[in-house]
Structure 1
Amino acid sequence: AAQDVIALSTYQLVPMADYKKLFIGAFATQVDEIIWRAWADNSHINNTNGVDVGNYPFAGINHLWNCGESPSQELVDCFEMTNGALPVSYNDATHTAVSITPEAAALGYSEATGGDPYSNRDPRFYINIVHNMMNYGVPYNCSQPYIIETFVGGRNGFNDVISQETQRSCTGYYSAKDKQIKYWGPGGSAGNEPTHWVFFRLAEFYLQKAEALCETGDLAGALTALNVIRQRANQPILQNVPGFANTQDFIRARIRNERRVEFCLEGQYRFDDQRRWKTLGETNRFITGMRITKGTDGKFSYQRKKIRDYQSYTDKYLVMPIPLEDAKKMTSLLQPAPWQ
């Protein structure tokens, strides 16, 4: 079925230079990659003319709104270096102790004081993730670029999750995927651009095809489909990444990582993927963030920090219970076994 959609030639992957347009374009704009989308206005989101002010990066400069999505350090770790290497491996169960891969270190990755863990990453990292000292462009009604400060005491963070303050990130990151810089300035306004939610785009079908072929043992076919998405992102084909192994386990793991990167912060992709892969016990116990402090010498220090424990990691959460109100109406209908 995925191949049938690809073969239609009705839809085309947009080039990387236009990737951001998949998520911030006005609804009336035609985007060749999008298969199904829905108009998003103030009846769908906490909206002011196309801007979701309940999910606003770093609460706006004036901190009038909530900060919205705060990407986890685990998500950030999924974005490869430009040579295809994953930056770190975890040394403990809480992901707070890591080993930097040699190939990442060779490109300058460092979490030591004065180091830089954000340069030379997959281009999608900079489209999706707002990170410390990022130049995010010139907002509306401003003359200078807006530089992100997620370090402790910086204008955009860091927030201790225990405080329950909702205007600053508790992970050290903000979502950039569907956000527009022009609305973030001190004189910025929400404009008048109702936008869209993307439900299906062509990239989904390439990665569905890659996963299906991998699971049925056609590793060559899986690599071909996967590499279409990787090459669009200007990342090396999987066969050329450090440590490549032509095995089902290796290719499966990297297909899953590719899905996490390509579709991060888009709807329920991750929610559904974890359940059909039955990986909640591995991926949904807790999240971590990066607590950054700035020394008097201007150098940054990096500390991985566990932010929150979750209880929804057992197999019980692979299925959904029947809503209580419905169960009351249909007393002979039993809840799924884990919920009885």
Structure 2
Amino acid sequence: MELKKVIEYLKAYDGPEIKLMEVCGTHTASIFKNGIRSLISPKIKLISGPGCPVCVTPTAYIDQCIEYAQKENHVLLTFGDMMKVPGTEGSLSDMKGKGAKVELMYSPFEALEKAQADPSTTYVIAAVGFETTAPAYALMMQQALAKGIENLRLVTALKTVIPALVWICENQKDIDGFICPGHVSVIIGSKPYEQLAQTYKKPFVVAGFEAEHILAVIYDLVRQLEKKEAKVKNLYTNAVRDEGNSKALEVLDAYFEPGPAMWRGLGVIPDSGLYLKDTFYDGGSRGLVADMKLPEGCRCGDVIVGKINPDQCPMFKTQCSPTNPFGPCMVSAEGACGIWYRNK
């Protein structure tokens, strides 16, 4: 169907209220950038999901990273969006200001160069992400082993999306359909969503990131719901295969294994974490399930699971901002609160 007719149809929709979850933070950003909400009926509600890996990282993980950054002859390497996530006694940014050894990285492979150049220092990587970034860490491990590098450790907060979607379906019964994450689906494919669709009788459609991609997925989800269908469809076929990326999945399976993981705002979800099989390189990633209570009034937990939109939090744009974040959703570039703050 032509894009113009898709928009006309979605704008005119006047049936029962529909609630669709865009799981991926990049989709949330694109929805704002392209004014998608202004192009569809107010009866079609778009809500954010737990697709921001930084946002769901627990306090215990931040504390573990800070402990390494304060340790003699150790340097913590991290991506920039982790710097302001609050731990028990402050963030990595706070501790760096107090002398902790924290360095930004732009690729995990930088750690190999640093470790080889300075054997007297142990480089600890804060490995955070979903299936999208996990293969890069697996390939880095492959190279570290091949080169015999020993002064390298990973503290992982790597998570998988499907167990989180199971949790959402079990606990958030009012979500009618899902815009599946494009980047993650490039790795895992569209087939893993089929069991979810069959079990929970809800449609799951894989989307790209351009405006026309998202509108096409919303249209497909609405049409499926009108016809009482619950199918998995892949509308991002130029990047996503039904079976996923076999090479990426193979290297993940070679170096990582599943285990329980804490999701901030959701709790511990079985088999949702990825942990190194080679425990020599593991910096103590397992068992980091402790999480502190969010500040009174902060509703990051409700934002992450789609109970509310960020602007429904009483702290939004008042006490909580990207420069003074109370919760993790305001910190990351993929966090729903940060996206809403910059665009609403």
| TM-score, normalised via structure 1 length | 0.30
| TM-score, normalised via structure 2 length | 0.30
Larger helix fraction of residues: 2
Larger strand fraction of residues: 2
